[in-house]
Amino acid sequence: MASNEPLEAERRCILTRASGPRAELIRLALGPAGEVAADLGEKLPGRGAWVSADRALIETAMARGQLQGALVRALKQSPVRVSETLADDIARGLEKRILDQLGLCTRAGLLVWGHERISDALGKGRVVLLLHAADAGEDGSGKLEMKRRAACPDSQSRVLPFDRGTLSVALGRGNVVSAAIVDAGAAARVRAALARWVAYQGLDARSADGPGMTGMEDEAPTAVAGGVDERHETRLI
């Protein structure tokens, strides 16, 4: 019996020719003067082409002139201008999308910050996702992690790729070191944005060691059928 659920539209990378879900690729939009820009929101008008969300792949293709050639063929226009900072522009754009999601959570009242407020939310079993700035001290974040495991065993946690200063500005609050999301849908959107950034940077979700990031994984994650139970992990995304 055929399923009535819509299938996610796939896109093909112009570099590898491999197809995949849109979340694993990045749209490059063609501007009116032949310039190409990353369209992370997939809303820019005009023709576009798709590349895998893989920084190393993009940088290598740019260095060899392969990206420009692939764009000319895909977009059927010449010349096509590709900025030398395209790879960095994509990284900054993906980071901004993480921060934008956190800002939306704050404005919707779905994010809690401050050690005491987070502890209270944990005690009430409300926390779905616990977040720590990249420069969070092990003492404070460690205490919150202990309480999270005990009070919210189905929750998850992540170390963000931002320091407390960047996080504080994004949330419009002073000195935010850790934050907690108390809504499942909002937490899923933040996790997805973080996962896309990690994949683009080529980092391992468990052991990536980015600037200012330190490992905070549990000693013995619980194995489950089909993978690893993430409920008790603090992962670097």
Looking at the chain, the whole-number percentage of residues with pLDDT higher than 90 is 74
Confidence of residue 68 (pLDDT cuts 50, 70, 90): very high
**Distance between CA atoms of residues 155 and 126, nearest Å:** 9
Gap between the Cα atoms of 63 and 89, Å rounded: 16
| Residue 213 pLDDT class (50, 70, 90 cuts) | very low
- 10-84 has CATH 3.20.20.70 classification: no
Contact predicate 55/90, CB 8 Å: yes
Task: Report residue 224's pLDDT band, with 50, 70 and 90 as the boundaries.
Answer: very low
Stretch 54-80: mean pLDDT, rounded? 95
Of 209, 199, 212, 211, which is closest to residue 236 (Cα–Cα)?
209
Residue 75 confidence (pLDDT) above 60: yes
What is the reported pLDDT for 205? 58
3-state secondary structure of 214: coil
pLDDT given at position 203: 85
Decide if 10-84 and 93-235 have a common fold. no
Cα dist. 18→14, 15, 160, 195 in Å? 8, 8, 30, 20
Q: Which fold has domain 93-235?
A: 60s Ribosomal Protein L30; Chain: A; (3.30.1330)
Q: What tens digit of pLDDT does each residue of 172-201 get? A: 988 999 999 999 999 999 999 999 999 999
Question: What is the per-residue pLDDT across 118-172, written as a single tens digit (0 to 9) for each?
Answer: 999 999 999 999 999 999 998 889 999 999 999 999 999 999 999 999 999 999 9
Mean pLDDT of 50-68: 96
Q: Is residue 74 predicted with pLDDT exceeding 80? A: yes
CA distance 88 to 102: 21
Domain borders along the chain are 10-84, 93-235
First to last CA, the chain: 39
